[in-house]
A and B are shown apart, each in its own frame.
Chain A
């Protein structure tokens, strides 16, 4: 029974969660804390804190944690399945239909018109990320790290993962001593 509830609640949270994983966190909270009482409010915040400290998509981390806690390994996989598969299958289906009509002016018009929206979305995400960074590091450090990262990524074509490791080293070794 618990497996069915896990499946339904994560399915619901993700089908209604527009805007990527972070957008479905409030929906998951509703299901996990208010509806099924799988976690208390404090437990949910703790889980979210850990989730934010780890890399990777957030929605799948929450699903994995709650699924495992409530239903062991079967729960782990069922919660993940409900989180990932429906929207992924829908995307693959949609792209298949669109690429069949690749040369039609309708599809071409759609791909041209969607570019400014995606540009705006990315600008929004960039601003949010800089804001977070400004709040935790201040202007000087944020700007310095950003400029160095930009040079490494764009001018010297360093692999992004390597740039992130460098930032980690700086953050682990230097940042705690500045505050």
Chain B
């Protein structure tokens, strides 16, 4: 009953995720990792990283990958449709009520009260990725590189995709360079 799981998991994350695709990611992760065990937490993180180097909406990329991994192309189609169709249809049906909806104090109140919750979910993911960075690179370099990235992206406003590409490119040679340095040290001794 993988299809049923895909539909439930991705529809739920599509309907309860506010603030655009990137803020839906913690919800998708909860369904994919904790609830249905489609992928491990590590795999989810890796796929998310690769997805960020590609253009286009992030939530649908993740949905397509998760569906594809379970059930191939059909799984990808089912997963994406489950994620986007309910809100896309709502968009078409509700446009006549646009003024009622966006001017109502109740609706704006509801949306603003969800913002801190989404922020917490994103914060938890940030913490976990930071943990992973520390685990893979050691505490000093892990924290240092995270701060460097934060400055590059937030302060200097370099596009995230460029930063990711630079780090990926260096990463491809990371172990080679590390081995070279080790050899040199050994040569000196």
Contact of A56 among B17, B98, B130 (CB under 8 A): B17
The interface residues of chain B lying within 8 Å CB-to-CB of A4 are none
The interface residues of chain B lying within 8 Å CB-to-CB of A68 are 92
Cβ of B57 and Cβ of A59 under 8 Å apart?
yes
Contact A61 to B54, CB < 8 A, known contacts A84-B60, A116-B142, A116-B149: no
Which of under 10, 10 to 19, 20 to 34, or 35 or more describes the interface residues of A?
A: 35 or more
Contact of B113 among A87, A89, A168 (CB under 8 A): A168
For residue B47, which residue of chain A has the nearest CB?
Answer: A95
Cα(A167)–Cα(B55), bound, Å: 32
- Least Cβ–Cβ distance between A53 and chain B, in angstroms: 5
Cβ of A176 and Cβ of B119 under 8 Å apart?
no
Cβ of A92 and Cβ of B68 under 8 Å apart?
yes
Contact A171 to B64, CB < 8 A, known contacts A19-B161, A108-B175, A132-B115: no
Contact of B64 among A92, A94, A108 (CB under 8 A): A92
Q: Is the interface of A mostly helix, strand, loop or mixed?
A: helix
- Least Cβ–Cβ distance between A42 and chain B, in angstroms: 11
Contact A115 to B84, CB < 8 A, known contacts A18-B55, A91-B50, A145-B117: no
- Least Cβ–Cβ distance between A57 and chain B, in angstroms: 4
Interface string of A105-143 (1 = CB under 8 A from B): 110111111111111111111110110110011000111
Cβ of B30 and Cβ of A110 under 8 Å apart?
no
- Least Cβ–Cβ distance between B145 and chain A, in angstroms: 4
Contact A55 to B113, CB < 8 A, known contacts A84-B60, A117-B167: no
- Least Cβ–Cβ distance between B88 and chain A, in angstroms: 3
User: Is A74 an interface residue, CB under 8 A from the partner?
Assistant: no
User: Is A150 an interface residue, CB under 8 A from the partner?
Assistant: yes
Contact A122 to B126, CB < 8 A, known contacts A57-B60, A115-B132, A136-B115: yes
Interface residues of B in 55-112 (CB under 8 A from A): 55-61, 63-65, 68, 76, 80, 83-84, 86-92, 94-95, 98-99, 101-102, 105-112
User: Is A1 an interface residue, CB under 8 A from the partner?
Assistant: no
Interface residues of B in 1-46 (CB under 8 A from A): 12-24, 26-27, 30, 35, 45-46
User: Is A71 an interface residue, CB under 8 A from the partner?
Assistant: no
Cβ of A84 and Cβ of B64 under 8 Å apart?
yes
Contact A160 to B26, CB < 8 A, known contacts A15-B55, A50-B98, A145-B113: yes
Residues of chain A at the chain B interface (Cβ within 8 Å) = 14-22, 24, 46-47, 49-61, 63-65, 68, 76, 80, 83-84, 86-92, 94-95, 98, 105-106, 108-127, 129-130, 132-133, 136-137, 141-143, 145-146, 149-150, 153-154, 159-161, 163-165, 167-168, 170-172, 174-176, 179
Q: A15-B55, A49-B101 are in contact. List 15 more A-B contacts (CB 8 A).
A: A18-B159, A20-B57, A21-B20, A50-B98, A53-B111, A54-B94, A58-B20, A88-B61, A115-B45, A117-B153, A132-B19, A160-B30, A161-B15, A170-B113, A172-B113
